[in-house]
Amino acid sequence: MSIPPVLAVPSGRAVGRLKRIGSRGLLALLAAAVIMLVFVLGTLLPDATLPLTWYVPVLDSAMVVTLAVVLFLSSSDVIIRRHGRLLPLAFVSLVLGVVWLQHMLTFPGVAPFKLPLVTNQTAPFLSQAGHIGTPALFAWILFHRAGPLARPRRSLFRTLALALGVSMAAVAVAAGLALILPPLIVNGRFTGLNTLFQAGPFLVLAIVAIFYRRARGAERRIESSVIAGLIFVSVETMVFMFMQARYDGFWYVGHGLMLLPCVALLVGTVGLFTAARRDAEVQLRVVEHLKASQQRLQVIIDTSPSAVISADEAGLITGWNSKAEEIFGWSHDEAVGRTLIGTIIPRRYRDAHQRGLARFIETGEGRLIGNTVELAGLHRDGHEFPVEVSVSPTSRSASGVDFVAFM
């Protein structure tokens, strides 16, 4: 269905304006829309809107599942593409996934057993670990430079092992701080120490803003998703700063926003994974087309009325068609891999052949190249016979020169 003429001009102008805004402008508009929605919901939602005993675990489980998908896709890309561009995502998703999983397990009824070093005040410290760790790890993705991997499985294993160690260390530190520092929540109200921790991501975001340069390390799709995630973190941090020191509507909205950076990371990973799959399909079609072209060329060579012989710069035969078998008496399998001077060149011409080949490799000039010359050929049974020879170089590169001769 076509667009009515009355609407075509306004819609075209709108699309043009969006293109002029660019990706950063769109991210700014998205952030503004999220902020407006947050303040509306935070104002409308009453205190104690949802029971914490199931609201927080459900939200944590959603983050864990999202990060698990990112971990699976990024790990698969590392192994399949043999490239380290998604290694940081595998690292980050595992670290944050373990932290949020541990946070979820601190709530009563989620796990049938009591976790070690876990007290009533451990959950807020784990939440702050994820809250501050998210922008820090996202910033590391932006600054990380990746390249091809010689051993992708080994690199992935080392990265995941390091991520697991970092995540367990973060959980241990959070549990230790819960035992040492004053509680973050007293009688259902947040303390000043909690507010100080809530402002932690602002420091990370300030460092990123100072040192970040566009397209420094991360792939474009990952870069966009990470920047979007950092924007969500900034909005989430502002929401937490506006909380009235209790579980009001802003707390519920702010805690819900903690899922959005994980979703942004998932969107970027899926986009990159999908694009890589499309590129692989295109390359596969190109390879299949090239293979079909080579097969057609081989049919033409095999049915040629002339003998077609190809060789490399060392004089080793690499191609031998049916007419060459008939003229010289050697089968294809017997001829390929043998030297020209030991197969079809009479003894009296061998020194001249070697000198001419060396001269062409050095200067690019030769008496036979591009000309048709009558010479003597050597049959397998040892007798000589006259042949007209035309030699052409088929390729010249750092790896050497290939030739093809028509007789």
Residue 372: strand, helix, or coil? strand
- CA–CA dist 92, 221 (Å, integer): 16
Topology annotation, domain 23-286:
Rhopdopsin 7-helix transmembrane proteins (1.20.1070)
pLDDT at residue 71, as a whole number: 92
For the segment 35-76, what is each residue's pLDDT rounded down to a tens digit?
565 555 555 555 555 555 667 788 888 899 999 999 999 888
175 closest CA partner among 103, 240, 98: 103
Q: At what angle do helices 259-302 and 52-81 cross, to 10 degrees?
A: 20
146 closest CA partner among 70, 91, 96: 91
Say which DSSP state 345 is in: S
- CA–CA dist 190, 57 (Å, integer): 19
Whether the model pTM is above 0.75: no
Q: Are 335 and 328 in contact (CB under 8 A)?
A: yes
Topology annotation, domain 304-406:
Beta-Lactamase (3.30.450)
- CA–CA dist 303, 394 (Å, integer): 20
Residue 72: strand, helix, or coil? helix
Q: Give me the tens of pLDDT residue by residue for the chain, a chain 407 residues long.
A: 444 444 344 444 555 554 555 555 665 666 666 656 555 555 555 555 555 566 778 888 889 999 999 999 988 888 888 888 888 899 999 999 999 988 888 876 666 666 665 666 788 888 888 888 888 888 888 888 778 888 889 999 999 999 999 999 998 888 888 888 888 877 767 777 877 887 888 888 788 777 776 545 567 778 888 888 888 888 777 777 766 545 555 666 777 778 888 888 888 888 877 776 777 677 777 777 877 777 777 777 777 778 888 888 778 888 888 888 888 888 888 888 888 888 888 888 888 878 877 787 777 676 777 777 788 888 888 888 888 887 777 765 555 677 787 87
Residues of the chain with CATH 1.20.1070: 23-286
For the segment 219-272, what is each residue's pLDDT rounded down to a tens digit?
777 888 888 888 888 877 777 776 654 555 566 677 777 888 888 888 888 887
- The single residue listed with the structure tokens 């005040």 is 121
Output the six-digit token pair for 289.
């087309």
pLDDT at residue 160, as a whole number: 92
Residues in the chain: 407
Q: Are 236 and 243 in contact (CB under 8 A)?
A: no
Residues of the chain with CATH 3.30.450.20: 304-406
pLDDT at residue 162, as a whole number: 93
Three-state SS across 41-67? HHHHCCCCCCCHHHHHHHHHHHHHHHH
**How far from 95 is each of 121, 165, 171, 172, 296, CA to CA, in Å?**
21, 9, 10, 13, 54
Say which DSSP state 349 is in: G
**How far from 192 is each of 123, 197, 199, 245, CA to CA, in Å?**
17, 9, 11, 9
- CA–CA dist 137, 87 (Å, integer): 12
- CA–CA dist 298, 319 (Å, integer): 10
pLDDT at residue 11, as a whole number: 44
